[in-house]
Amino acid sequence: MTLLRFIGRTLFATIFVIAGYDSLTKPGGRTNLVSENLPLPEPELMVRLNGASMVVGGTALAIGLKPRLAALGLAAALVPTTYAGHQFWKQSDPGMRRNQQVHFNKNVSLIGGLLTYALTDDD
């Protein structure tokens, strides 16, 4: 079971490490989303910090270093990402609206999975 748990954690963590690294190294358009949708100072810095937290949390989850705490931190980092980045309700184009809604729902599901993991007694 330990090997399966390691594989599962690693596969689950992959999205956070990859997306976090991308945000950390290439904040790009995410900076505009933050400045438009969240009342935060230094939008580029915020995007990079969010990306860094996902890289650290995802890596910790993958290797089993405080995985419950890592899952809780990742869930917290996904909340502003989901709100700022996937505001499907503001889209007038049906295709864009559907695309953003899919990503919004994916992130909400990831948050649910992370919270479930964070609240599970087994590491």
Total H helices, total E strands in the chain:
5, 0
pTM, two decimals, is: 0.92
Please give the Cα distance from 102 to 108 (Å, whole number): 10
Q: Radius of gyration over alpha carbons of the chain, in Å?
A: 15
The pLDDT tens digits for 17-62 are: 999 999 999 999 999 999 999 999 999 999 999 999 999 999 999 9
The pLDDT tens digits for 103-118 are: 999 999 999 999 999 9
- Domain range annotation of the chain: 2-118
